[in-house]
């Protein structure tokens, strides 16, 4: 099967004008100019860009049930309190989780996302739906255990690793939630278990400015919040260091780890992350919604860190679209090139999730995961990067060579 468009953007090499992609047995068989790849195309998308499917390196599909119901703002703990209140008032049931995850999957695929790093509080229910979907990626089971809940640690670790059924598309990972919901011993236990099972890890780290005071001295807004929750049976051990150093000491900065956020990091922290080879999932619009200080992702990239992009959940972001995140980045950071921006949302994400050999670029032999985005034709000299100027969603999305969704004009069946 051949598909064509005005541009093909493989990401691992420069854009091709009047390009074509050949798909055979679910994989990319060839990428090049339409002239060099003759044959009647199954679809000619015309004024559009064929690019790799997007990679959402950090999300929580099971929080889709709270979409638009909590407002993120500068007070992170107020948001967390609201989230916990709503989670307590509406406890997860299989039906609710299935519906939320199903909705999250549909919204992801419609927006061109074909790979995710998803965190779930209820792995046994989330994975029933995820493993039946076309998405690939990692399902991280979340682990929290602190204060009088610390005895639940190993139970939660075991639950995190439960598999619905073996799926090559969806790997199983562990998410030690954050230093303020998991004590240092718990972080270490997650790292050791991940090592033993060769499982990927994801941790929320250095997300807010207050986190450092908590890890260093066990004081400040997080300590007050936990005391208020009544989980504080005895003093949580202070580590005397910031969150990134704590993660390093507990074995959580290795190459199998994705750090969500890393919003407040020092130069030394950037060096630690680079030395450990952990990836960083920057969530641009969620970051802005919480009014954090500017993210140091460019310095991270310069230090050799694999930075990728996530949306975080619908409890802090209006959509699960990585294309929307990239459009936001284009608007906010005029110094980034279009090639740099698209790599953040595709190949770098695949690398971060350990799927760079499988997908993330239009490369012969990789799985045919593609998004087709219309060009902004209001601009007479629309280059391929005009996809960042418009607000239009993809007109087609393929996962493993199968068309997920096809709308709009220009289809030549």
- Min dist. Cβ of residue 367 to Zn ion (A): 26
| Region of 221-229, 292-300, 305-313, 333-341 interacting with Zn ion (CB under 5 A) | 305-313
Task: Report, in Å, the least distance between residue 72 CB and Zn ion.
Answer: 11
Measured from the CB atom, the residue of 62 and 164 that comes closer to Zn ion is 62
Cα 337 to Cα 346: distance, rounded to the nearest angstrom: 15
| Residues found in the chain | 413
> What is the smallest separation between the CB atom of 177 and Zn ion, expressed in angstroms?
9
Region from 73-81, 126-134, 312-320, 329-337 binding Zn ion, contact rule CB under 5 A: 312-320
Give the binding range for Zn ion (CB under 5 A) out of 79-87, 149-157, 183-191, 310-318: 310-318
| Burial readout 12-31 (b: 16 or more C-beta within 10 A, e: otherwise) | eeebbeebbbbbeeebbbeb
* CA-wise closest residue to 141 among 79, 194, 88, 180: 194
Here the contacts of 284-287 (C-beta below 8 Å, separation 24 or greater) are 284/309, 284/325, 284/328, 284/329, 284/332, 285/311, 285/317, 285/318, 285/324, 285/325, 285/328, 286/72, 286/310, 286/311, 286/312, 286/316, 286/317, 287/261, 287/263
User: Cβ closer to Zn ion: 183 or 312?
Assistant: 312
Please give the Cα distance from 200 to 328 (Å, whole number): 28
- Inter-CA distances, 270 with 107, 312, 344, Å: 33, 22, 18
Given the complex with Zn ion, which of 118 and 312 has the nearer CB atom? Answer: 312
Q: Is 15 helix (H, G, I), strand (E, B) or coil?
A: coil
Number of residues that bind Zn ion (CB under 5 A): 1
Question: Which CB, 19 or 284, lies closer to Zn ion?
Answer: 284
Nearer to Zn ion, 186 or 310 (CB): 310
User: Which position among 312, 324, 325, 369 is part of the footprint of Zn ion (CB under 5 A)?
Assistant: 312
* From 76-84, 91-99, 304-312, 336-344, span contacting Zn ion (CB under 5 A): 304-312
Residue number with CB closer to Zn ion (41 or 243): 243
Of 312 and 385, CB closest to Zn ion: 312
Report if residue 118 touches Zn ion, rule: CB under 5 A.
no
48-52 and 2-8 as β-strands: parallel, antiparallel, unpaired?
parallel
- In the bound complex, what is the minimum distance in angstroms from residue 339's beta carbon to Zn ion? 28
Residue 108 or residue 361: which is nearer to Zn ion going by CB? 108
| CB nearer to Zn ion: pick between 80 and 367 | 80
Tell me the closest approach of the beta carbon of residue 142 to Zn ion, in angstroms: 9
- Residue 314 contacts residue 67 (beta carbons within 8 Å): yes
Q: Are 284 and 292 in contact (CB under 8 A)?
A: no
Distance CA 260, CA 290 (A): 14
Q: Render 378-405 in DSSP notation, one character per residue.
A: TSTT--GGGGGTS-PPPSEEEETTEEEE
Choices 16-24, 74-82, 311-319, 327-335 (CB under 5 A): range interacting with Zn ion = 311-319
Nearest residue (CB) to Zn ion, 41 versus 141 = 141
382 CB-side CA count, 13 A: 20
Residue span binding Zn ion (CB under 5 A) among the ranges 39-47, 214-222, 224-232, 308-316? 308-316
Stretch that binds Zn ion, among 66-74, 178-186, 244-252, 307-315 (CB under 5 A): 307-315
> Shortest gap between Cβ of 129 and Zn ion (angstroms)?
19
Contact flags string 352-391 toward Zn ion, x per CB under 5 A? ----------------------------------------
| 322 or 375: CB nearest Zn ion | 322
Q: List Cβ<8 Å contacts ≥24 apart for 74-80.
A: 74/290, 74/291, 76/207, 76/208, 76/210, 76/290, 77/210, 77/221, 77/222, 77/225, 79/290, 79/316, 80/225
| Distance of alpha carbon 378 from alpha carbon 279, whole angstroms | 38
Shortest distance (Å) from residue 155 CB to Zn ion = 22
Rounded to the nearest whole angstrom, what is the least distance from the CB of residue 383 to Zn ion in the complex? Answer: 34
d(CA 389, CA 392): 9
Question: Which residue number has the CB closest to Zn ion?
Answer: 312
Which residues are near Zn ion by CB under 5 A?
312
């Amino acid at each position: 099967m051949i598909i064509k468009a005005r541009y093909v953007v493989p990401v691992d090499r420069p854009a091709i004008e009047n390009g074509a992609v050949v798909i055979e047995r679910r994989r990319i068989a060839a990428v090049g100019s339409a002239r060099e790849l003759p044959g009647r195309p199954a679809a000619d998308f015309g004024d559009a860009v064929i690019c790799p499917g997007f990679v959402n390196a950090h999300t929580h599909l099971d929080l889709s049930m709270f979409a638009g119901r909590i407002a993120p703002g500068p007070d992170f703990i107020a948001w967390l309190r609201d989230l916990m209140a709503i989670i307590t008032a509406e406890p997860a049931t299989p039906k609710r989780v299935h519906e939320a995850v199903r909705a999250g999957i549909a919204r992801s695929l419609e927006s061109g996302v074909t790979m995710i790093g998803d965190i779930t509080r209820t792995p046994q229910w989330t994975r029933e739906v995820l493993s039946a979907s076309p998405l690939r990626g990692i399902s991280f089971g979340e682990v929290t255990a602190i204060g009088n809940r610390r005895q639940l640690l190993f139970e939660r670790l075991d639950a995190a690793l439960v598999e619905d059924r073996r799926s090559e598309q969806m790997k199983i990972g562990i998410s030690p939630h954050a230093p303020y919901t998991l004590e240092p011993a718990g972080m270490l236990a997650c790292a050791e278990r991940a090592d033993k099972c060769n499982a990927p890890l994801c941790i929320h780290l250095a997300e807010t400015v207050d986190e450092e005071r908590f890890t260093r001295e066990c004081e400040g807004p997080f300590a007050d919040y936990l005391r208020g929750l009544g989980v504080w049976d005895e003093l949580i051990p202070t580590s005397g260091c910031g969150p990134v150093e704590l993660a390093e000491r507990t074995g959580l900065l290795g190459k199998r780890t994705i750090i969500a956020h890393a919003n407040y990091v020092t130069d030394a922290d950037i060096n630690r992350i680079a030395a450990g080879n952990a990836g960083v999932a920057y969530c641009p619009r969620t970051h802005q919604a919480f009014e954090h200080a500017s993210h140091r992702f460019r310095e991270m990239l310069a230090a050799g860190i694999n930075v990728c992009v996530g949306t975080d959940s619908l409890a802090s972001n209006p959509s699960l679209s990585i294309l929307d995140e990239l459009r936001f980045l284009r608007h906010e950071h005029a110094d980034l090139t279009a090639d740099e921006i698209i790599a953040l949302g595709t190949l770098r994400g695949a690398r971060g999730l350990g799927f760079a050999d499988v997908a993330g670029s239009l490369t012969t032999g990789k799985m045919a995961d593609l998004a087709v985005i219309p060009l902004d034709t209001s601009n007479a000299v629309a280059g391929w990067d005009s996809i960042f100027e418009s607000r239009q969603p993809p007109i087609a999305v393929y996962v493993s060579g199968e068309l997920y969704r096809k709308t709009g004009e220009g289809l030549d069946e």
